[in-house]
Amino acid sequence: MEDLGEASTREQCLTAVRCCPLCGESAERSQAAFSVRQLSWDVDVTTCCNCGLLYKSEFPTQELLASIYGPSYVHFKDSSSCCQSRQEPSDRTRRLGPPHGRHLDYGCGAGAAVWDAQSAGWESYGCDPFLPSIPSSHPLNGRLFRLDARDPGLAATLGFFDCITLWAVVEHLPHLRQTFEGLHHLLKPGASLVFSSPNGASLIARRAGRRWNMANLVEHIVFMTPRSVGWLAEHLGFEVKRVRYGGVPYPMGTCPPGVDGQGFCQTQDEPPPVPLANREPHSPARMSAAVRQLVGIAGAYFGKRNGGGHLGQLARGVLDRLRIGDHIEVCLLKCD
């Protein structure tokens, strides 16, 4: 990962957002929700008055994004750990329904979701704007592409799809509307677009604010809400089929009091590209034994393993019914 150096200025790392990334409403009409520590600076997190999207008032520059999403980024880790035979598909792949054609995973990283969907019976492909070069020995060689949804020739390269997924991707997208428009074009009529996102209207977002883990990550810049999902569907030609609530409930998923600035989601042996204060908010040394035990229980119940047994399924059902998790999973259908 490229080192931006200790002398990096705010202008080199962050750029002001002038309008809502989803609906285009002026940022001057947004309402401040809370602030987070990003690198060495405080950044406001605001709610769009028009569509309800929660977004940061400053986004990482292209230079910083290129540094964050380098080959060592955690989601680009070696495929040998994620492209392995499964006895059965993951819960999220099963929620797509019976395999019925071509599938695209956007923001695919090393291709774990592509491998999972293909193993379940989909004709699956993946693309990612920051995808590193793929070796010929990669299990998914020929199925992963370094492409951006905003590329005008995307359909000519990839074709059209019966299902497109974005798993833990939407919160990373600076050009949110343009990305959704590009993916909408790739869908066949009646096809589904399924994505997950931290829920900017969740209890944890409203009560924890700057201590919400999802908002502290520098590369997490937009947070969908049920209201913004409705705006997206109405204005881009989708029908909302399902909104599922998941993630972790309040107060789980928060930084300890007085600690913020998680920094980048990266491999453990990779140094940060810029100096960060309080780099280890979740270090065991910072937690009491009771808190560590509670976090361990929460991890087992609320989804560290994308499946997780009967207790995990029961817990996720409760989260969905009570709508108290900090994530939403959305299924949209392209209107005919």
pLDDT digits (tens, 9 = 90+) for 219-249: 999 999 999 999 999 999 999 999 999 999 9
Provide the pLDDT for residue 96.
97
As given in the structure block, the two tokens for residue 279 are 């780099």
Q: Are 183 and 164 in contact (CB under 8 A)?
A: yes
Q: Which of 166-175, 251-260, 281-290 has the highest mean pLDDT?
A: 166-175
Q: If you average pLDDT over residues 308-324, what whole number do you get?
A: 81
β-pairing verdict for 123-127 and 144-145: parallel
pTM of the predicted protein model: 0.85
C-alpha 100/C-alpha 102 separation (Å) is: 7
Provide the pLDDT for residue 1.
38
The length of the chain is 336
User: E strands of 123-237, at which residues?
Assistant: 123-127, 144-145, 161-166, 187-198, 222-223
CATH 3.40.50.150 fits 62-283+325-334, yes or no: yes
Tally Cβ neighbours within 10 Å of residue 307: 14
Listed residue (24, 78, 81) closest to 53, CA to CA? 24
Asked whether the predicted pLDDT for residue 279 surpasses 70, the reply is no
Asked whether the predicted pLDDT for residue 95 surpasses 70, the reply is yes
Q: If you average pLDDT over residues 134-160, what whole number do you get?
A: 91
C-alpha 150/C-alpha 110 separation (Å) is: 21
Q: If you average pLDDT over residues 68-94, what whole number do you get?
A: 76
Q: What percentage of the chain reaches a pLDDT higher than 70?
A: 79
CA atoms within 13 A on the CB side of 145: 19
Q: How confident is the model at residue 85 (pLDDT cuts 50, 70, 90)?
A: low
* Tokens 């054609």 -> residue: 101
Listed residue (220, 244, 250) closest to 317, CA to CA? 244
Provide the pLDDT for residue 267.
42
pLDDT digits (tens, 9 = 90+) for 174-203: 999 999 999 999 999 999 999 999 999 999
Count Cβ neighbours within 10 Å for each residue of 52-63 and write b for 16 or more, e otherwise. bbbbbbbbbbee
Listed residue (221, 263, 246) closest to 304, CA to CA? 246
Residues 6+ apart with CB under 8 A from 52: 200, 201, 225, 226, 227, 228, 230, 231
Of residues 18 and 262, more confidently modeled: 18
Q: Which stretch of 82-86, 191-195, 276-280 has the lowest confidence by average pLDDT?
A: 276-280
Provide the pLDDT for residue 258.
64
Asked whether the predicted pLDDT for residue 281 surpasses 60, the reply is no
